[in-house]
């Protein structure tokens, strides 16, 4: 399953505005950009902690060994995977906003690292297990 849209497209638009400027450039003072990027890091870490116990919601058991029990287990397990997809999407969004903020503060190398981290995060989530 793909990660849902949680604001990634808007973050990418801000990044483009920070890098390319254009009609509506996105610019921030370097200190402001760094503080916003740090807040994004905190959010990513908090979401990582939420993911830490994910096996509890994706490995569902305790239903009877009947067709309805199997269906319920599959359904609840699927909801757990949707939860993990959403956590990944929120982390990706936070990293993309971090990249946009850093680019707006003219910290382009750090912005590229944040973009790469977002790509790596989603790739790891979508990789076959």
Domain of residue 102, residue span? 8-126
CA dihedral 18, 21, 24, 30 (to 10 degrees): 40
pLDDT value for 1: 60
Instruction: Kindly state whether residue 41 falls inside one of the protein's structural domains.
Output: yes
Tokens read off for 98: 């971090």
Instruction: Kindly state whether residue 78 falls inside one of the protein's structural domains.
Output: yes
| Burial class of residue 109 in the structure, from the number of CB atoms within 10 Å of its CB (0-12 exposed, 13-18 middle, 19+ buried) | exposed
Counted domains in the chain: 1
pLDDT digits (tens, 9 = 90+) for 35-69: 999 999 999 999 999 988 777 777 777 888 788 78
Instruction: Dump the DSSP string for 31-78.
Output: HHHHHHHHHHHHHHHHHHHHHTTTHHHHS---S-SSHHHHHHHHHHHH
Instruction: Kindly state whether residue 28 falls inside one of the protein's structural domains.
Output: yes
Instruction: Kindly state whether residue 2 falls inside one of the protein's structural domains.
Output: no
Work out the angle between the directed axes of helices 30-51 and 108-126 (0-180°, nearest 10). 20
pLDDT value for 25: 93
Q: State pTM to two decimals.
A: 0.88
pLDDT digits (tens, 9 = 90+) for 87-123: 999 999 999 999 999 999 999 999 999 999 999 999 9
Instruction: Kindly state whether residue 64 falls inside one of the protein's structural domains.
Output: yes
Tokens read off for 38: 């740090």
pLDDT value for 57: 76
Q: Which residues contact 101 (CB under 8 A, 6 or more apart)?
A: 28, 32, 33, 36, 37, 40
């Amino acid at each position: 399953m793909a990660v849902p849209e949680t604001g990634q497209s808007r973050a990418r638009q801000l990044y483009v505005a920070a890098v390319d400027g254009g009609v509506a450039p996105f610019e921030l003072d370097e200190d402001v950009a760094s503080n916003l990027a740090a807040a994004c890091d905190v959010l990513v870490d908090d979401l990582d902690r939420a993911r830490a116990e994910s096996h509890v919601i994706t490995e569902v058991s305790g239903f009877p060994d009947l067709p309805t029990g199997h269906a319920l287990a599959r359904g609840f397990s699927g909801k757990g995977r949707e939860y993990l997809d959403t956590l990944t999407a929120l982390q990706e969004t936070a990293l993309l906003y971090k990249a946009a903020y850093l680019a707006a503060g003219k910290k382009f190398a750090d912005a590229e690292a944040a973009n790469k981290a977002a790509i790596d995060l989603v790739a790891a989530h979508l990789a076959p297990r």
